[in-house]
Chains A and B, each alone.
Chain A
Amino acid sequence: MPAILEARDLTKQFDLGATQVEALRGVSLEVQAGEFLALMGPSGSGKSTLLQLLAGLDRPTSGSVVFEGRDISRLSDDEATKLRRERTGFVFQAFNLIPLLSVIENIGLPFTIAGLDAGRGELRERIRDVISLVELTGKERHRPDQLSQGEQQRVAVARALVTKPSVLFADEPTGNLDYTTGGEILEALWLTAEASAQTIVLVTHDARAAAYADRVLVIGDGRITDEITLGRRQDHSAAPLIARLAQIGL
């Protein structure tokens, strides 16, 4: 089976006037359809940069990203926008929602942006489904500031899923949350991976979050330093992963 997402020798440099930061120094990886992949590593190792390149939010300095058989590393802004709207979903660490819009409006936003009527027919069904998936039924009319942070992140997950993206990208989606609330988000992500074979790329520095993934890539100083395959499991205890990480000295 061909990979749904593939990175080939990606590098990324940031110009800071006099100096340069090499955020990525040659990363290659493959993500299979239906796979739940976690990117782990210490702060500043280049996880977010890699995710942004994989999702077509930014262009690599060199190398390429192939998404569903198509090189997306040199897309025009309009093409990239279309890709984001139709093929990918995002969950960020915080501030995912438009404060002015209600839960249901925030979730329907990708459709509204595309000029579709999110209040009718199949789209309405889909919005209802994702709301029940993230267990927010009954809170459709609330505004973001009337929700807890965990609920807000669940709305963000629901919105990322509602377009049925090929790949869902999440950058530290639990970074701002406490232990249990973070667990709820991860459960929700895992559930979609399990139930609808959703491909997920998750960036985290938290082993407990990474333990939900099928496979973990460890990033260090702009390179992939290790790969840990966990496989699909019902049990998400972090102990095995922590043990493996300890083995490789993290």
Chain B
Amino acid sequence: MGLSRLSARTLTARPLRSLLTILGVALGVGVLSASLTLGAGLEAAINRTVRDLVGNADLRVSAFLERGLSDATVEAIRTMDGVSVAAPIVERRTFLSGVSGTNPGTVTVVGIDPTTYPTVHPLELVGGALLLRADERSAVITEALATAEGYALGSELTVLGAGAPTHLRVVGIVAGSGPIAEAGGRTVFVPIDVARTIFRLTGVTRVDVVLADRTPSQAAADRLAEVITTEPYVLATPADLAAGLRASTADFQATTAWLAAIVLFVGAFLIINTISMTVSERAREVGLLRAAGATRGQIIRFVLVGAAILGVLGSLFGLLVGAGLGALMANSIRALTGFAAQVDPLSAGSLALAFLVGLGVTTAGAMEPAIRASRISPVEALRARFDVPAARRGRLIWLTAVLGFVAVLALLVWPPASGSIGADRAIVVYGVLLVATLATPLVLPPLARIIGLPISLILRLEERLARGSMARDRSRTALTLGALVIGLAMVVALGWTADAARHRATAWLADVVPGDEVLTSIRRVGRTEPAQGELAALPGVRSVSPIATFDLAYHGVRIDAAAIVGADFLSDGRLTFLDGDRATALRALDTGGAAILPEAAARRLDLAVGDSIGVALGDGATLDLRIAGIVSRSLPSGGGEAILVGWPDASGPIGVTGADVFAVRFVPGATPAERAAVETLAATYALEANPLTRIEGAVVDALGRVFGLFDAFSLIALLVAALGIVNTLGMGVLERVRELGVLRAIGMTRRQASRMVVTEAIVLGLAGSVLGILVGLGIGAILLQFSGDLGRSPVLPWGSMALAGVLGISCSIVASYYPSVVAARVSIIRSLQFS
């Protein structure tokens, strides 16, 4: 019989242990392959979205200012050297009138030049024809919109704009949701001049440019800078857009990747343990093989073949697990970013990589036991009673090596999209986990003694024997416990970061929004329109503060800005000032020429109170704003936090036509009816009402979805840890069969025997919980430190800590069920016959 056949038989001799190990490997590989296929799926989704967004365009020149790019600029782009096609586009969100009441009727109107647009964005029609002239009152709509609102070719649309509603006839229908991703499928294409009329625009939103053959986009960008001198603009290439999209999922991907690495790490513990157990158990056989002339190399191969069999089976099974997990993760990311990431379970590259990593980790984990096995001397093995020489330091060194190997692998498969985002975090966290695991064997004996104290009051003998059993093979116990500690630490750390994120989100809103309810509009509401006054006059309303969000150009970069009424913020007590006098600063906004910066922006732009910033206006002019104050948090905006300016500057030089947000503050004790009246009136002005509590709820929900997935990962790590506990306790029972036989012979009941195993599990579980919570708090503190949240959220994550405690103990107790049954069933006679 070949040695490899013997290896395989060794595995089938302990089917439960082999199965548990295969499961452990499978979970690790599954999580890894899921996060890899998800990465591939996201990349594909990003490329698709970018293609949809820019079509054949090589460059996209977007207007910076509200009024858009002037005709002169469009002309300059069109006639520039190297430009083959320049398609001017107007894009605005608005309402359709006369659509069903439940639907807000929002659509994105895209004004296109019928001659240039189709070359940049080929539109696939399912009916009718494309637009022909730049001024015809016709519209091409998406199939999705047609289906949702019951439009057909020839239907009449009524679009609300700046003036009277405009009636358009549907002449064509574009397949599916159309190319504008953000429109949610509700896009109306109209001739560009019609769009300008509807919205009373003189400029265009953007120009999509197709470059002539062999014109590098960098050269074109440089030339553009020379050509467009009077208006600020933003230039984007498809690569920029893809990078932007990638950035929005990078954090998520990075987190899933390092959680996958952690699950694999825990899986590696299980493998090392299992293979060591098998080696210890088979020591005598190995000795016999050596005595019969097997070389060390053959023994190493004998052990590694066994590990490889486990690795292959586990990895194959893991790919199945991964397919399921991948689908789950794709759902999460869709909920999170709106990306339809399609997880293609047959992405061969990811599968192969995950498989190889699984196999590699298994084999690496088996290396140390294999070498130890090869050192078993034939003489030792033939002694009457065989004790495998306890390997302590040696094993820890190997452990470090294996985990280093896993870390290197993790870095190799690090999602390229996320670049270095989170890599530093992941490395530090990984390092902490490694150190914690290595420290476990040192901490365990005293900890177990302390934990055992109360237990020993009731179950003295069981506690004593359980503790002894844990001390029998320290490194085995340490690995088992290490896995549990890591799983629980992740629960605590993620729980804490989730708490902090939730706390930050809600505290932020409460700190900066001068109202209980936020009314948002998709179009600008002019300062002279009646909406604000009528809302403020309603009973129960104390104040209505108009806010406009827009972009500013400063030193060629886009910064988010918001126009606010300083007096409203002053009387409502919003904003926490870090520098500058609150009253002076807020009043300065209302006078004009001043700005208030969030701390993050002040630090990024290296600005202090008293400095001036010059923001670019049209026609090459700049507006100087003096920094009047620095606040810890400012109004949230798309890219982070907005710098605050006053309305005189916004509606004056900057050219903001109106507010898009109203913050409504109720008088204390406003009745629900009074609140409802505000929402009703808001609806008549097409304002969407969002109570602050609902916004907070939405934020908390979104966080919950993301962290829910991460929690699922920690639970998988915990599951792997539980498999390890079953293995270790089971091995402990097998090793002690004779002892159990003796104990039973002198009067130990079956119940006592099984209680002994459960006690061991409880001590392990308690020790794991204590260490897991401590390590988790450490990791949580590090993560919060990275995100600057440490100390901001006031409390420890008591909920997660309690959860970790309960999980740790219940996992161990559940895991001890089977071994305890085995212990209770030990037959006295059989155990005596063993020898």
Candidates B469, B742, B748, B829; contact of A81 at CB < 8 Å: B748
Q: A57-B828, A100-B465 are in contact. Are A112 and B460 (CB under 8 A)?
A: yes
Question: Contacts A52-B829, A57-B828, A98-B743 known; A77 to B750 CB distance under 8 Å?
Answer: yes
The 8 A CB mask of B731-768 against A (1 = contact, 0 = none) is 00000001100111111111010000000000000000
CB contact list, B452-489 vs A, under 8 A: 460-461, 464-465, 468-469, 471-472
What residues of A have a CB within 8 angstroms of the CB of B750 in the complex? 77-78, 81
Nearest chain A residue, comparing its CB with the CB of B738: A95
Residues of A within 8 A of B828 (CB): 57
Residue B832 at the chain A interface, CB threshold 8 Å = yes
Which stretch from A30-38, A83-91, A182-190 is at the chain B interface? A83-91
- A-side contacts of B749, CB under 8 Å: 77-78, 81
Residues of A close to B745: CB separation below 8 A: 57, 84, 90, 92
B468 CB contacts on chain A under 8 angstroms: 98, 100-101
State which size class the interface on A falls in: 20 to 34
Q: Report A61-104 CB contacts with B as 1/0, cut-off 8 Å.
A: 00000000000000001100110111001101011111111000
Query: Inside 8 A of A113's CB, which chain B residues have their CB?
Result: 461, 743, 746-748, 752
**CB-CB contacts of B683-711 with A at 8 A, as 1s and 0s?**
00000000000000000000000000000
Which residues of chain B come closer than 8 Å to A99, judged between CB atoms?
739
Given the known inter-chain contacts A57-B829, A100-B468, A112-B461, please indicate yes or no for A95 contacting B746, CB distance below 8 A. no
- Report B-chain residues with C-beta under 8 Å of the C-beta of A98: 465, 468, 739, 742-743
Closest to A52 in B: B829
CB distance from B505 to the nearest CB of A (A): 54
Q: Which residues in A have their C-beta under 8 angstroms from that of B738?
A: 95
Q: Complex: how many Å from CA A138 to CA B748?
A: 28
**How many cross-chain pairs have Cβ atoms below 8 Å apart between A and B?**
65
A159 at the interface (CB under 8 A from B): yes
Kindly supply a per-residue 1/0 record for chain A positions 160-184, scoring 1 wherever the CB is within 8 Å of any chain B CB and 0 otherwise: 1000000000010000000000000
Question: Is the CB–CB distance between B829 and A95 below 8 Å?
Answer: no
Name the residue in B465, B472, B746 with the highest tally of chain A Cβ atoms < 10 Å from its Cβ: B746
Q: Which residues of A contact B829 (CB under 8 A)?
A: 52, 57-58
User: Which residues in B have their C-beta under 8 angstroms from that of A197?
Assistant: none
A84 to B742, CA, bound (A): 11
Q: What separation, in Å, do the CA atoms of A78 and B750 have in the docked complex?
A: 8
Tell me which of B469, B742, B752 contacts A95 (CB under 8 A).
B742
Task: Tell whether A110 is near chain B: CB-to-CB under 8 Å.
Answer: yes
Q: How far is the CA of A114 from the CA of B460 in the complex (A)?
A: 11
A52 to B469, CA, bound (A): 28
The CA of A160 and the CA of B747, in the complex, are separated in Å by 11
Closest to B828 in A: A57
Rounded to whole angstroms, the CA-CA distance of A164 and B745 in the bound complex is 15
Q: Which residues of A contact B752 (CB under 8 A)?
A: 113
Asked if A109 CB lies within 8 Å of chain B CBs, one says yes
Closest CB in chain B relative to A12 CB, distance in Å: 11
Residue of A nearest to B831 (CB): A95
Residue of B nearest to A149 (CB): B384
Write the nearest CB–CB distance from B274 to chain A, whole angstroms: 24
Whether A81 touches B739, Cβ cut-off 8 Å, given contacts A112-B460, A112-B461, is: no
Residue contact A159 to B746, C-beta cutoff 8 Å:
yes
Most A Cβ at <10 Å: residue of B460, B464, B749, B750: B749
State the Cβ distance, A149 to closest chain B Cβ, in Å. Answer: 10
Rounded to whole Å, the gap between the CB of B376 and the closest CB of chain A is: 20
B746 to A84, Cβ gap below 8 A?
yes
B301 to chain A, nearest CB (A): 34
Name the distance in Å between B194's Cβ and chain A's nearest Cβ. Answer: 90
Beta-carbon nearest neighbor of B748 in chain A: A113
CB contacts (< 8 Å) of B471 on chain A: these are: 100
B410-422 Cβ-contact flags toward A at 8 Å (1 or 0): 0000000000000
Q: Are A86 and B747 in contact (CB under 8 A)?
A: yes
Q: How far is the CB of B507 from chain A (nearest CB, A)?
A: 54
Chain B residues positioned under 8 Å from A52 (CB to CB): 829
Give the contacts of B752-792 with A (CB-CB under 8 A).
752
- A95–B465 Cα gap in the complex (Å)? 16
CB distance from A178 to the nearest CB of B (A): 14
CB-contact partner of B746 in A58, A77, A109, under 8 A: A109
**Quick check: A96 and B747 within 8 Å, CB to CB?**
no
For window 786-835 of chain B, which residues contact chain A by CB distance below 8 Å?
828-829, 832, 835
Please indicate the chain B residues that have their CB under 8 angstroms from the CB of A89 in the complex. 746
Q: Which residues of chain B have C-beta atoms less than 8 A from A110's C-beta?
A: 746-747
In the complex, residue of chain B having the shortest beta-carbon distance to the beta carbon of A169: B745
Q: Are A84 and B747 also in contact (CB < 8 A) when A52-B829, A98-B742, A113-B752 are?
A: yes
On chain A, the residues within 8 Å of B746 by CB distance are 84-85, 89-90, 109-110, 113, 159-160
Q: Smallest distance from the beta carbon of A113 to chain B beta carbons, Å?
A: 5
List B contacts of A92 (CB < 8 A).
742, 745, 832
Q: Which residue of A lies closest to B746 (CB)?
A: A110
Q: Give the chain B neighbours of A159 by CB distance below 8 A.
A: 746
CB of A120, distance to nearest CB on chain B (Å):
13
Instruction: State how many angstroms separate the Cβ of A160 from the closest Cβ of chain B.
Output: 8
Chain B residues, CB < 8 A from A109: 461, 743, 746
Q: Give the chain B neighbours of A77 by CB distance below 8 A.
A: 749-750
- Give complex CA distance A97, B465 in Å: 13
A77-B828 Cα distance, complex, nearest whole Å: 11
In Å, the complex CA distance between A94 and B738 comes to 10
Q: Which B-chain residue is minimally distant from A117 (CB atoms)?
A: B460
Known: A81-B748, A113-B752. A96 touches B461 (CB 8 A): no
A112 to B464, CA, bound (A): 11
Name the A residues within 8 Å of B832 (CB-CB).
Answer: 92, 171
Complex alpha-carbon distance, A19 and B749, angstroms? 33
B742 cross-chain contacts in A, Cβ below 8 A:
92, 95-98
* Chain A residues with CB under 8 A of B461: 109, 112-113
Chain B residue nearest to A160 (CB atoms) is: B746
| Best-surrounded residue of B465, B471, B745, B832 (most CB of chain A within 10 A) | B745
Instruction: Please indicate the chain A residues that have their CB under 8 angstroms from the CB of B739 in the complex.
Output: 95, 98-99
* Cα distance, A77 to B747, chains bound together (Å): 11
Instruction: Compute how far the CA of A63 lies from the CA of B469 in the bound complex, rounded to whole angstroms.
Output: 41
Q: In the assembled complex, how far is the CB of residue A124 from the closest CB belonging to chain B, in whole angstroms?
A: 16
Shortest Cβ distance from residue B820 to the other chain A in the assembled complex, whole angstroms: 16
B214-227 to A contact mask, C-beta < 8 Å, 1/0: 00000000000000
C-alpha spacing A81/B465, complex, angstroms: 19
CA separation between A78 and B748, bound complex, in Å? Answer: 10
CB distance from B726 to the nearest CB of A (A): 22
Q: Give the distance in Å from the alpha carbon of A94 to the alpha carbon of B739 in the complex.
A: 11
Within 8 A of A (CB), among B58-111: none
Q: Complex: how many Å from CA A81 to CA B826?
A: 13
Which A residues are in CB contact (< 8 Å) with B747? 81-82, 84-86, 110, 113-114
Chain B residues within an 8 Å CB radius of A171 = 832
User: Who on chain B is nearest to A85 by CB?
Assistant: B747
A57 to B831, CA, bound (A): 12
Measured between beta carbons, the chain A residues less than 8 angstroms from B465 are 98, 100
User: Which chain B positions have C-beta within 8 A of A81?
Assistant: 744, 747-750
Q: How far is the CA of A159 from the CA of B745 in the complex (A)?
A: 12
Residues of B within 8 A of A (CB): 460-461, 464-465, 468-469, 471-472, 738-739, 742-750, 752, 828-829, 832, 835
Q: List the 7 shortest-distance A-B pairs measured between CB atoms, nearest first.
A: A85-B747, A100-B468, A112-B461, A84-B747, A113-B748, A81-B749, A95-B738
Known: A98-B468, A100-B464, A113-B747. 19 other contacts (CB 8 A): A52-B829, A57-B828, A58-B829, A81-B744, A81-B749, A84-B744, A84-B745, A84-B746, A84-B747, A85-B747, A89-B746, A98-B742, A101-B464, A109-B746, A112-B460, A112-B461, A113-B461, A113-B743, A114-B747
List 13 A-B residue pairs with CB atoms under 8 Å apart, sorted by A's residue number. Answer: A78-B750, A81-B750, A84-B744, A84-B747, A94-B835, A95-B738, A95-B739, A98-B742, A110-B746, A113-B461, A113-B746, A160-B746, A171-B832
